[in-house]
Structure 1
């Protein structure tokens, strides 16, 4: 064993490695990430890793250091350059001589943040896997050697695969469709330009120039303010709908023809209806934060809804375990495993949304309008010390159990009452608790929120 490297503990997250560049994350960390992941892959019998990076200003520097670390562990590197995260996943899944992948990305986080997402053998790499990387680095337990390096251009093959999401639909059925696309100056830009040039219909693009300063708005489509430009475009051009992506394009946001936001669980309900007409009785996985609307819709369309833990890696792992062809999260991660690879891809979701409007014979505006009206909170996030957050959730769970409450505790506590449901859970990636509530009435929603606050108060906490 050689000289090791200790990561700042806060950067080793549940689903990825993520930190603030120049404070908790630097080139030495990136080198150690490359050494550790390459060692894991080499010891599992692999010999080649694909590496991509997003449009953040620090990403090229981190990518170069990761590549150096991989090569020093005796593993070959395939560099695909600037890429959306799903393009990295695609390269790992479609290149037969590649056995794992690392994407340098800060996702939807502030522009001075960055990090790494992983895939190994086509499977999500998270939790204990990431902690193991930290252990290998701390011990200096790295394989050594001299790997090779080559560049490959996979953009055209990726776009060609995205287009297959329209298989079976006549091109003339889509020629009248008019769609807006907001890349948010993130890594989606080049693929959006190439994809829309090949799609039938009329397409209007926003902010496809990759710029790590994010000069127009931050690329996080779960925040309504970040969709303002897209909504204005849809209104000005009288488009059928619009789609937006986060910084690395593994999440999708959408607005209908009236500018109304269609949230992740509502999109999942639409995708489920489309899928279940072709795959009757299939299981569809949704995260614990998803609306009752999504679970009810899956059942109504003849599917089997499964509630599971929040987190893109956790959803992907559960889908692999049970063979589910579709899954989704409130945050806009959508996973198609029927005719795709099962990973989260915002661009492929956009293509499938176009296909769904044709196969279901309804506009996105009409489908959204037909959904039951509910009253709900956004995801409420508030700081709780790292060493307190999980303990507080356990205290709430024990009180609920003692009171005979109707709740699910697969990820925090999701409590069912006559007014609807409320959720309280600890984030796996930050020192925060998150809460959400949904009811059929505004009065009911207020009562649910008061129940959340009462439980927090009993544990000496508040939403602040």
Structure 2
């Protein structure tokens, strides 16, 4: 900030600790309307992976926009000196998070629509547990208390970038399980699990049901399709076959796109620009964006969304209207979930180029898919290779190869509609696709899965033999 201010080219405002969606809102909120906002964050990644997020009133910058900034910075560095004469610092401090918090509060109050004094405390009588994961979501507790809710039992509200309790990642069981335990212990109506910078969330129902990943998308799809029948819902590439059927049976259109929340959001924006209505873009990671909210991935907005029964905790609005005891699971009735699922993360050893190994694995997978009778390549497909697997009796599993966005890892996602069925698909991957890759990929996760299931299957036979 000091560097930007010293150039005298802009009025620089330090908004302090903030969230990703609040940084965007600082560009469009009356009284602020900043031309651009920059955030330093590692999100849920280790603190040594800090990076920068850039925003304008149009939204977050994409790869092209960030690339242009990097290129300009490189030109300045190559010039060897500042291209401008130093000017007096123009740096001020403004707390914006309270402004954003009040925006959320007004949205809930207006959405519930109670009259008189009840307008100010629409969540009176509700018990809600917040798990901020030591990220920036602790302010949500103050927000909910101000709306009348009891937040006793909330977890890890103080920001701490070392994440002493668990990573602030609603995809992970270690984030969801303590929230589930707290919801049950407090007999709470709902638990909310937030990402570090509050751009995604997961929830726990009052009965302890964990709602994230495909379940979260199913509920969101149900809600959006009530108001916008026939709309497109864009998800990432790793969503289940059961979710696809759920969206289609609910009257929606489903486009499975690439992993990466910006990819999903950008594709939704492309559809809308082309005149194809797309109200929702959402990843299994918990990133969710609504057309009515600038296609911004905003966990707090999704959690507090006031207009009907929208996701994460816009559910709160419906709870306030109908009273305690609402069962969120009703909103995903009919969702067929996989009976077995694993993400195999196969590390590429030092000395090998990850992109090259990935392409070799992709080529081998493509060749195998053409000859294995039970495999069928999914079309269209926008990332890696996804193969549907005929598991018999009308059941369909799938396997997908893709490359990690951050690490030297090749990923195989596998789901099965058969109990312990992942092992059978993994065994085929080892024999038909990855034979000969032992030097280039750590195949031990696949071998371990196959061995463990084989051992479990042998146990009844051994017990029967011993009894005989």
Same fold by TM-score greater than 0.5? yes
Please report how far the alpha carbon of residue 388 of structure 1 lies from its aligned counterpart in structure 2 after TM superposition: 2.7
Counterpart of 1:412 (choices 384, 388, 399) is: 384
Establish whether residue 425 from structure 1 lines up as the match of residue 405 from structure 2.
no
- State how 1:64-463 maps to structure 2 within 5 Å: 64=1, 67-69=2-4, 71-72=6-7, 74-94=9-29, 97-140=33-76, 144=84, 146=87, 148-163=90-105, 164=107, 167-171=110-114, 175-189=124-138, 191-204=139-152, 205-323=154-272, 324-338=278-292, 340-352=293-305, 353-356=312-315, 362-367=326-331, 371-384=335-348, 385-396=353-364, 398-399=366-367, 402-403=370-371, 405-408=376-379, 409-418=381-390, 419-453=396-430, 454-457=432-435, 459=437, 461-463=441-443
Deviation of the 1:462 alpha carbon: 4.3
Q: What is the CA distance between 1:331 and its match in structure 2?
A: 0.9
Cα distance in 2 for residues equivalent to 1:433 and 1:376: 20
The structural deviation recorded for 1:229 is 2.3
Separation of aligned partners in 1, 2:10 and 2:84: 9
Q: 1:148/1:224 Cα in 2 relative to 1: closer, same or farther (>3 Å)?
A: same
Q: Which has the larger radius of gyration?
A: 2
Q: Which runs of 4+ in 1 moved over 6 A?
A: none
User: What per-residue deviation string (whole Å, max 9, x for no partner) do you get for residues 63-105 of structure 1?
Assistant: x4xx524653723323211011221122124357423221101
Map Cα deviations across residues 319-358 of structure 1 (whole Å, 9 max, x no partner).
21112221111111111222x2211111122224343476
Residue 174 of structure 1 deviates from its aligned partner by 5.2
Please give the alpha-carbon distance, in whole angstroms, between the structure 1 residues aligned to 2:286 and 2:130. 15
TM-score (norm 1): 0.76
Q: Contact between 2:123 and 2:144, CA under 8 Å: does it hold in 1?
A: no
Cα offsets for 1:6-62 (capped at 9, x unmatched): xxxxxxxxxxxxxxxxxxxxxxxxxxxxxxxxxxxxxxxxxxxxxxxxxxxxxxxxx
More displaced, 298-307 or 132-141?
132-141
Distance 1:239 1:218 in 2: 23
Is the Cα contact below 8 Å between 1:274 and 1:356 reproduced in 2? no
DSSP-derived class of the 2:378 partner: strand
The verdict on how the C-alpha distance between 1:176 and 1:414 changes in structure 2, with shifts beyond 3 A counting, is farther
Distance (whole Å) between structure 2 residues aligned to residue 143 and residue 300 of structure 1: 59
Q: Secondary structure of the equivalent of 1:437?
A: strand
**How far did residue 115 of structure 1 move?**
1.6
Task: Name the CA distance, whole Å, in 2 between partners of 1:229 and 1:443.
Answer: 26
Instruction: Classify the secondary structure of the residue corresponding to 1:247.
Output: coil
Q: Distance in 2 between matches of 1:83 and 1:228?
A: 26
Q: Secondary structure at the match of 1:421?
A: strand
Shift of 1:380: 2.8
Q: What is the Cα deviation at residue 389 of structure 1?
A: 4.3
Deviation at 1:245, TM superposition (A): 1.3
Cα deviation for residue 414 of structure 1 reads 1.4
SS of match in other structure, 1:420 = strand
2-side partners of 1:200 and 1:302: how far apart?
37
Distance 1:273 1:379 in 2: 26
Q: Residue 416 of structure 1 aligns to a residue in which SS?
A: strand
Relative to 1, partners in 2 of residues 1:457 and 1:150: Cα closer, same or farther, differing over 3 Å?
A: farther
SS in 1 for 2:129: strand
Which ranges of structure 1 fall in alignment gaps of 5 or more residues?
1-63
SS at match of 2:268: helix
Return 5+ residue gaps in structure 2 as ranges: 273-277, 306-311, 391-395, 445-468
* Secondary structure, counterpart of 1:78 in structure 2: strand
CA distance in 2, matches of 1:430, 1:185: 24
How far apart are residue 215 of structure 1 and its match? 2.9
Query: What is the alpha-carbon distance in structure 2 between the residues aligned to residue 195 and residue 365 of structure 1?
Result: 26
Contact 1:270–1:356 (CA<8 Å) still a contact in 2?
A: no
Q: Aligned Cα RMSD in Å?
A: 2.9
**Structure 2: distance between partners of 1:293 and 1:175:** 37
Indicate the SS of the match to 1:225.
helix
Residue 48 of structure 1 aligns with which residue? none
Structure 1 residue 201 displacement after superposition:
4.0
Q: 1:373 to 1:357 in 2, by over 3 A?
A: farther
